[in-house]
């Protein structure tokens, strides 16, 4: 559809009629301004030319005026509404893929599975629900790597999470480095809602930056960190099928301090149901922002009436140019 950006400009359309009605014409000049030797050639020129062009010129002058006013009103063509990308949060997932994640002390669909597979299943469903958020994925072990930069493409993030393997980033745990990588990526964005969800089953053992120091940097950058500890006191199946209780390297005190420093929360999950419930709680704490606004593409059309006015003005000028036939102007 066609609309006008400045429709109030159309109010000046009757202005020439108002001027003609209420403004007096200037009185004619008395006396000759020029002495022409060929006066006899141009005598009658005014009456001849005006009689030939008076009515067409009047109509064309009105057409020029209307087209100029239409151009000044900024006509534009509005296309079909297009939904804008939904503005949500910048949310980074940091997943531990160190050697301890291969312990099969969780159960999924009635079968024992290792910790990473449970994280893939539960966190994958969490990723699918984050409609409108930009998601990124960090995998960390001895070192931390950005696996997926921030993107609206949730399918890619889920795919890269599913393809993660234990030991890909080393067998140790560098929690501080994972936080540092996330903060670096998140603070480059203009988005105000920056969130990191960090999941690990161990304590920080290596890395270039201590976890609490990294948490302080995150707090300064406006990044909230939710930490999830998995494992706890766990049962591990021996090669003989015996379920033995072993200790855990999990460091809840540090994870809790990281969350408190950045305004987040600490969660601990010792089974699959608890882990799933944690991600449900994260959905509640950091709900996706679903924006229903849309954009209608706009194409300016002012050049068409303006161009038409120019062409008519040229034609109008040509109508006023006298033509010479033989030795006389007509």
Q: Are residues 131 and 273 in the same domain?
A: yes
For the purposes of burial, counting CB atoms within 10 Å of the CB of 10, is it exposed (0-12), middle (13-18) or buried (19 or more)? Answer: middle
Q: Is residue 85 part of a domain?
A: no
Q: Are residues 192 and 226 in the same domain?
A: yes
Q: Are residues 57 and 174 in the same domain?
A: no
Q: Are residues 10 and 98 in the same domain?
A: no
Give the length of the chain: 330
CB 285 within 8 A of CB 228: no
Q: Are residues 131 and 279 in the same domain?
A: yes
**pLDDT, tens digit, 9 for 90 and up, residues 289-300:** 555 556 677 888
Least confident of 22-31, 154-163, 195-204, 255-264: 22-31
Average pLDDT over residues 223-230: 91
Q: Are residues 67 and 44 in the same domain?
A: yes
Chain-wide mean pLDDT for the chain?
Answer: 80
Cα separation, 261 vs 253, in Å, equals 12
Q: Is residue 24 part of a domain?
A: no
Q: Is residue 147 part of a domain?
A: yes
CB 103 within 8 A of CB 166: no
Query: Read out DSSP for 33-95?
Result: S---TTHHHHTTHHHHHHHHHHHHHHHHHHHHHHHHHHHHT-EEEE---EEPPP---EEEEEE
Look at the alpha carbons of 252, 255, 258, 259 in this order and tell me if their dihedral is positive or negative: negative
Q: Are residues 168 and 212 in the same domain?
A: yes
pLDDT of residue 227: 93
Average pLDDT over residues 113-124: 89
Share of the chain above pLDDT 90, in %: 30
Residue 1 pLDDT exceeds 80: no
Cα separation, 271 vs 26, in Å, equals 97
Q: Is residue 100 part of a domain?
A: yes
Least confident of 37-51, 62-76, 120-134, 308-322: 37-51
**pLDDT, tens digit, 9 for 90 and up, residues 31-79:** 555 555 545 554 554 455 445 556 777 788 888 899 999 999 999 988 7
Q: Are residues 76 and 136 in the same domain?
A: no
Residue 329 pLDDT exceeds 60: no
Percent helix, strand and coil across the chain, each to the nearest 5: 40, 20, 35
23 band by pLDDT with thresholds 50, 70 and 90: confident
Q: Is residue 29 part of a domain?
A: no
Q: Are residues 272 and 137 in the same domain?
A: yes
* E-strand stretches of 101-210: 106-108, 111-113, 134-140, 144-151, 194-200
Average pLDDT over residues 185-209: 84
Q: Are residues 192 and 73 in the same domain?
A: no
More confident residue, 244 or 294: 294
Domain, as residue range, for 274 = 90-285
Residue 166 pLDDT exceeds 50: yes
pTM exceeding 0.85: no
How many folded domains does the chain comprise? Answer: 2
The CATH number of the domain holding residue 237 is 3.40.50.410
pLDDT of residue 193: 76
Q: Are residues 280 and 173 in the same domain?
A: yes
């Amino acid at each position: 559809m066609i609309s006008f950006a400045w429709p109030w400009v159309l109010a000046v359309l009757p202005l020439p009629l108002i001027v003609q009605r209420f403004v007096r014409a200037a009185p004619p000049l008395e006396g000759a301004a020029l002495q022409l030797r060929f006066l006899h050639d141009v005598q009658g020129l005014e009456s001849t030319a005006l009689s030939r062009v008076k009515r067409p010129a009047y109509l064309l002058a009105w057409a020029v005026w209307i087209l100029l006013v239409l151009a000044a009103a900024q006509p534009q063509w509005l296309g079909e509404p297009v939904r804008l990308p939904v503005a949500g949060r910048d949310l980074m997932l940091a997943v531990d893929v160190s050697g301890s994640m291969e312990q099969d002390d969780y159960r999924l669909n009635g079968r024992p599975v290792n910790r990473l597979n449970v994280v893939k299943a539960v966190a994958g469903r969490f990723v699918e629900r984050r409609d409108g958020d930009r998601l990124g994925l960090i995998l960390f072990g001895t070192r931390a790597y950005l696996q997926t930069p921030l993107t609206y493409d949730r399918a890619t993030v889920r795919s890269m999470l599913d393809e993660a393997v234990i030991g890909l980033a080393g067998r140790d745990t560098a929690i501080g480095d994972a936080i540092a990588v996330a903060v670096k990526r998140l603070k480059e964005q203009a988005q105000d809602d920056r969130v990191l969800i960090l999941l690990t089953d161990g304590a920080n053992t290596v890395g270039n930056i201590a976890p609490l120091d990294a948490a302080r940097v995150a707090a300064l950058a406006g990044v909230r960190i939710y930490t999830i500890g998995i494992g706890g006191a766990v049962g591990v199946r021996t090669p003989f099928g015996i379920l033995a209780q072993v200790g855990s390297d999990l460091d809840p005190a540090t994870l809790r301090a990281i969350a408190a420093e950045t305004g987040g929360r600490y969660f601990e999950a010792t089974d699959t149901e608890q882990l799933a419930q944690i991600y449900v709680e994260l959905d509640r704490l950091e709900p996706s922002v679903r924006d229903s606004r849309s954009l209608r593409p706009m194409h300016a059309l002012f050049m068409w009436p303006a161009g038409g006015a120019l062409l008519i003005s040229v034609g109008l000028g040509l109508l006023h140019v006298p033509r010479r036939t033989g030795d006389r102007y007509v």
